[in-house]
């Protein structure tokens, strides 16, 4: 840490340092930020922008950046802020880290911070005619300002960017999303193959895609704002409704983050149960993505195969948690109840069945001529782009990135189990599909070890730590990430140390993996056939509520 | 919940049976029954899943639950071919106009099931700044199905309630239902008109001043 401090101090003398938190916090004035960011990326190899979080500190508006060095897995934390609330402006880093393009649009949408030199300043989640910036602390929530709209939304074709010249004068340049002569086809928001309410505006030439403009926000539910008015245990339920296919994993992440802030030790038994649930969830999620990917290509039978095995996992959840989906099982300090007496046997049985059936899946689909033709060599994403766009999870690993959080930043008991990180090199749709199939085998491996560990612990045991009824966190901020079914899921938690009995998070941000995944749709679909748009997006595999939050 | 406590809405069927027994036109009555029977057993859903409930709906279509047993399996991707819209998942302000438009595109007779807590009342997202608090604010709803998400069994129950409703609709009059729908949309249109009128009068007042 001290090493970084010295280097950054040399690069930018104005920077202030604070190493009391988990990572080194660097506070940089906005004018110096872009130069420092360039040096951080090029000289110190911080090439992966893990999270970009907008925060309203009342007297100032700003952005928190979490950067990771993909070679050493070191992380640092940068804060940039402005005191101007009327016309807040910061410098964009979207030219350095491509993932910042959408992230900055999100911050613009929520806080009204404009980013200088950002290529495309438009709202991302909310309608074009939305009044106000909802995540600001002084946002007026009265329904008169924003009534339920019943008229169709007009396409936003106009965009603008702010350009700064050498003297520091900022000018606004208006532009168009699509040129007048372009032929634009609309896909969505209600389309069976977009896997939810997602909309692509696709400019095509003949049958080739030239540009995809992602229009998101059709399921934007304002979870982050709602969390600011709830106590910590109450916020847990929203994590399961983000990416419902990694419900346990997301909830695990928020629990870990709050536990880290409280300094709470979780019983070993609880951690084993949590890990087992996480892997079952991953298995279930990959089975679903297998089903959906195959169905998008017309293989309806394969879809039924995938769902047949998912029912086994649902039954396990049902017995222990009392629900098939949205289980609400993990809680701060452990899990809400001990596992069902038949849990271990059921998990073992499920592992055996899925291992057997995986062969059937491969036989049915993996070698199929149609599948191979439609997936092999389609939708390339190389390693550099994958890191630049912060693509993680199976899609990132298909491009050769070493990005499994379970290996890079081990949490829970993942350093005690043996499994391989599946990494393939080609980065096409086929590899993204194959990574998932192989990861299922790895999950089964972990599940078997979990069963042994749980058996060693005995039939019953302590499954929850002693947690105070009213949870209070000291002032500060924490970042926790876990490996979700679709990539690195992160939680940014900020507390103001409010002494009132029912403390609420000052800011809770979910860094969802799918948000980054949707950023590469334009890149991967470009110059492919319009029909392949569906297979490529299906192989990237995102869940829309996770993008929109 | 105990089995006896469960209140099924059988009274509708009984009522209709009773009324039928006291005399209906034999030919027309039988024909009505036949039509209702036909509609209720070939309900084609419209794929409209926005979030979690859609996954459970997929389970409903898969092998274990198999909604084909009841004639629900022909899920359509176009609203023009569907009989009912089962709204699975939260409706946000951005999606609301699209939902309304899809509903308008459906051919008569058309039905709506509000599936899941979000569509019934806004559910866990009730306090959000951009979530519609129940889809009945935008379109008329026939069956409400709570749950977050409802289990496939519950979905079956909702669908069978809809079937039951359809089986007696001729008797209770499709006419009544249509009138209600017209009232529903008229009320929506009146609201902004009133506001405009108020604005106009206030402007007049300002001008006079």
The pLDDT tens digits of the residues spanning A46-96 come to 888 888 998 988 888 889 899 888 888 888 888 888 888 888 888 888 888
Residue B135 lies in a domain: yes
**pLDDT by residue (tens digit) across B43-67?**
888 878 888 888 888 888 888 888 8
Nearest CA-CA distance, residue A193 and chain B, Å: 10
Burial (CB count within 10 angstroms: exposed 0-12, middle 13-18, buried 19+), residue A105: buried
Say whether B92 and A229 touch across the interface (CB within 8 A): no
What pLDDT shows up at residue B172? Answer: 62
Partner-chain residue, chosen from A126, A134, A241, that has the shortest CB–CB distance to B124: A241
Sheet containing A16-18, strands listed edge to edge, beginning at the edge strand earlier in sequence: A16-18, A24-27, A75-82, A61-68, A48-56
What pLDDT shows up at residue B12? Answer: 72
**pLDDT by residue (tens digit) across A352-394?**
999 999 998 888 888 888 888 888 888 888 888 888 898 988 9
Chain B hits for A217, Cβ within 8 Å: 92, 94
Say whether A149 and B93 touch across the interface (CB within 8 A): yes
Say whether A308 and B64 touch across the interface (CB within 8 A): yes
Q: What is the mean pLDDT of residues A448-458?
A: 87
Partner-chain residue, chosen from B90, B96, B102, that has the shortest CB–CB distance to A149: B96
Nearest CA-CA distance, residue B194 and chain A, Å: 15
Nearest CA-CA distance, residue A37 and chain B, Å: 35
Query: Six-digit token pair at A97?
Result: 């880290």
Nearest CA-CA distance, residue B91 and chain A, Å: 7
What pLDDT shows up at residue B26? Answer: 67
Element (H, E) at A208: strand A208-215
Give the number of domains in chain B.
1
What pLDDT shows up at residue A244? Answer: 87
Task: Provide the number of CB pairs (under 8 Å) joining chain A to chain B.
Answer: 125
**pLDDT by residue (tens digit) across B77-111?**
888 888 888 888 888 888 888 888 888 888 878 88
What pLDDT shows up at residue A1? Answer: 55
Say yes or no: A233 contacts chain B, CB-CB below 8 A: no
**pLDDT by residue (tens digit) across A319-360?**
888 888 888 898 888 888 888 888 889 999 999 999 999 998
Give dist(CA A203, CA A186) in Å, integer: 9
Beta partners for residue A76, in sequence order? A24, A67
Element (H, E) at A68: strand A61-68
Pick from A391, A312, A316, A423: which is nearest to A357 by CA?
Answer: A312
What pLDDT shows up at residue B209? Answer: 42
Q: What is the mean pLDDT of residues B148-154?
A: 88
Whole-number average pLDDT of chain A = 86
Nearest CA-CA distance, residue A441 and chain B, Å: 23
In angstroms, the Cα distances linking A151 to A71, A99, A472, B122, B139 are 51, 33, 45, 21, 14
What pLDDT shows up at residue A464? Answer: 84
Q: For residue B78, what is the nearest residue in chain A, using CA coordinates?
A: A191
Q: What is the mean pLDDT of residues B182-201?
A: 58
The string over A439-463, giving b where at least 16 C-beta atoms fall within 10 Å of a residue's C-beta and e elsewhere, is bbebbbbbbbbbbebbeebeeeeeb
Chain A hits for B90, Cβ within 8 Å: 219, 221, 545
Partner-chain residue, chosen from B98, B138, B149, that has the shortest CB–CB distance to A189: B98
What is the pLDDT confidence band of residue B189, given thresholds at 50, 70 and 90? Answer: low
Say yes or no: A151 contacts chain B, CB-CB below 8 A: yes
Judge contact between A199 and A542, C-beta under 8 A. no
What pLDDT shows up at residue B176? Answer: 47
Say whether B63 and A141 touch across the interface (CB within 8 A): no
Residue B91 lies in a domain: yes
Residue B141 structural domain:
44-167
Residue B104 lies in a domain: yes
Cβ atoms within 10 Å of A94's Cβ, excluding its own? 21
Residue B14 lies in a domain: no
Residue B60 lies in a domain: yes
Q: Is a pLDDT exceeding 80 seen at residue A400?
A: yes
ipTM (interface predicted TM)? 0.84
What pLDDT shows up at residue A349? Answer: 92
**pLDDT by residue (tens digit) across A16-59?**
888 777 888 888 888 888 888 888 888 888 888 888 998 988 88
Q: For residue A310, what is the nearest residue in chain B, using CA coordinates?
A: B59
Partner-chain residue, chosen from B49, B55, B130, that has the shortest CB–CB distance to A222: B130
Residue B208 lies in a domain: no
Say yes or no: A128 contacts chain B, CB-CB below 8 A: no
Nearest CA-CA distance, residue B45 and chain A, Å: 13
Say yes or no: A226 contacts chain B, CB-CB below 8 A: yes
Domains of chain A are 2-141+158-166 (3.30.460.80), 223-548 (1.10.645.10)
Judge contact between A430 and A440, C-beta under 8 A. no
Say whether A146 and B101 touch across the interface (CB within 8 A): no
The CATH number of residue B161's host domain is 3.40.50.12280
**pLDDT by residue (tens digit) across A237-259?**
888 888 888 889 999 999 999 99
Residue B111 lies in a domain: yes
Say whether B51 and A134 touch across the interface (CB within 8 A): no
Say yes or no: A134 contacts chain B, CB-CB below 8 A: yes
Sheet containing A89-91, strands listed edge to edge, beginning at the edge strand earlier in sequence: A89-91, A114-116, A158-164, A170-176
Element (H, E) at A350: helix A343-361
Residue B27 lies in a domain: no
Give dist(CA B54, CA A290) in Å, integer: 17
Say yes or no: A357 contacts chain B, CB-CB below 8 A: no
Q: Is a pLDDT exceeding 70 seen at residue B193?
A: no
Q: Is a pLDDT exceeding 50 seen at residue B205?
A: no
Alpha-helical runs (H) found in A401-505: 405-408, 429-457
Say whether A325 and B125 touch across the interface (CB within 8 A): no
The sign of the dihedral angle between the CA atoms of A230, A234, A239, A242 is: negative
What pLDDT shows up at residue A444? Answer: 92
Say whether B138 and A150 touch across the interface (CB within 8 A): yes
């Amino acid at each position: 840490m001290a090493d970084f401090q010295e280097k950054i101090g040399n690069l930018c003398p104005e920077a202030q340092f604070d190493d009391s938190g988990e990572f080194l916090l660097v506070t940089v004035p906005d004018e110096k930020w872009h130069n420092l960011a360039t040096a951080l990326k090029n000289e110190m190899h911080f090439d992966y922008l893990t999270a970009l979080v907008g925060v309203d500190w009342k007297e100032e508006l700003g952005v928190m950046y979490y950067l990771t060095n993909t070679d050493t897995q070191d992380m640092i934390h940068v804060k940039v802020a402005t005191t101007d609330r009327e016309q807040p402006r910061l410098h964009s880093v979207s030219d350095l880290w491509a993932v910042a393009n959408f992230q900055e649009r999100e911050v613009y949408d929520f806080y009204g911070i404009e980013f200088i030199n950002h290529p495309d300043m438009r709202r991302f989640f909310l309608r074009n005619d939305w009044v106000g910036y909802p995540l600001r602390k002084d946002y007026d929530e009265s329904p008169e300002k924003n009534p339920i709209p019943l008229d169709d939304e007009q396409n936003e074709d106009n965009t603008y960017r702010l350009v700064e010249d050498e003297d520091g004068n900022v000018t606004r340049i208006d532009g168009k999303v699509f040129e007048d002569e372009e032929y634009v086809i609309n896909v969505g928001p209600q389309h069976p193959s977009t896997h939810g309410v997602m909309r692509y505006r696709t400019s095509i030439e003949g049958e080739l895609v030239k540009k995809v403009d992602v229009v998101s926000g059709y399921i934007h539910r304002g979870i982050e704002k709602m969390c600011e008015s709830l106590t910590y245990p109450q916020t847990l339920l929203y994590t399961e409704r983000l990416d419902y296919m990694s419900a346990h994993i997301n909830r695990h992440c928020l629990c870990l983050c709050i536990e880290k802030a409280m300094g709470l030790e979780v019983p070993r038994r609880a951690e084993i149960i949590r890990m087992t649930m996480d892997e079952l969830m991953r298995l279930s999620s990959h089975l679903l993505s297998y089903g959906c990917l195959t169905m998008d290509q017309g293989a309806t039978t394969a879809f039924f195969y995938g769902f047949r095995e998912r029912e086994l996992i649902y039954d396990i959840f049902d017995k222990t948690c009392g629900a098939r989906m949205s289980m609400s099982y993990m809680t701060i300090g452990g899990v809400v109840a001990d596992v069902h007496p038949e849990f271990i046997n059921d998990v073992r049985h499920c592992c055996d069945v899925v291992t057997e059936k995986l062969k059937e899946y491969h036989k049915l689909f993996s070698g199929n001529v149609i599948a191979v033709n439609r997936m092999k060599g389609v939708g390339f994403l190389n390693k550099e782009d994958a890191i630049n766009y912060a693509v993680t999870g199976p899609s990132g690993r298909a491009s050769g990135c070493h990005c499994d959080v379970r290996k890079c930043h081990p949490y829970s008991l993942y350093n005690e189990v043996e499994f391989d990180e599946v990494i393939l090199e080609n980065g096409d749709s086929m590899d993204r599909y194959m990574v998932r199939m192989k990861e299922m085998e790895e999950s089964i491996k972990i599940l078997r070890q979990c069963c042994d560990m749980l058996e060693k612990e005995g039939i019953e045991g302590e499954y929850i730590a002693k947690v105070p009824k009213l949870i209070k966190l000291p002032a500060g901020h924490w970042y926790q990430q876990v490996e979700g079914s679709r990539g690195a899921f992160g939680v940014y938690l900020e507390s103001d140390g409010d002494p009132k009995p029912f403390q609420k998070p000052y800011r809770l941000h979910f860094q969802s993996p799918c948000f980054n995944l949707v950023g590469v749709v334009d890149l991967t679909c470009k110059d492919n056939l319009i029909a392949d748009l569906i297979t490529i997006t299906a192989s990237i595999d995102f869940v829309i509520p996770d993008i929109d939050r | 919940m105990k089995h006896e406590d469960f209140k099924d809405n059988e009274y509708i069927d009984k009522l209709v049976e009773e009324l039928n027994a006291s005399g209906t036109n034999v030919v027309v009555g039988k024909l009505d029954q036949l039509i209702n029977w036909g509609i209720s057993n070939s309900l084609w859903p419209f794929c409209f899943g926005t979030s979690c409930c859609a996954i459970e709906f997929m389970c409903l279509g898969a092998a274990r639950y198999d909604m084909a047993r009841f004639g629900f399996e022909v899920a359509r991707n176009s609203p023009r071919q569907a009989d009912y819209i089962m709204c699975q998942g939260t409706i946000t302000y951005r999606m609301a106009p699209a939902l309304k438009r899809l509903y308008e595109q459906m051919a008569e007779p058309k039905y709506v099931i509000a599936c899941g807590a979000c569509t019934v009342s806004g559910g866990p997202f009730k306090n959000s700044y951009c979530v519609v608090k129940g889809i009945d604010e935008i379109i008329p709803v026939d069956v409400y199905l709570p749950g977050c998400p409802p289990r496939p069994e519950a979905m079956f129950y909702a669908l069978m309630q809809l079937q039951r409703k359809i089986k007696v609709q001729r008797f209770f009059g499709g006419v009544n239902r249509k009138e209600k729908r017209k009232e529903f949309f008229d009320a929506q249109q009146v609201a902004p008109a009133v506001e405009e009128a108020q604005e106009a009068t206030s402007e007049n007042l300002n001008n006079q001043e």
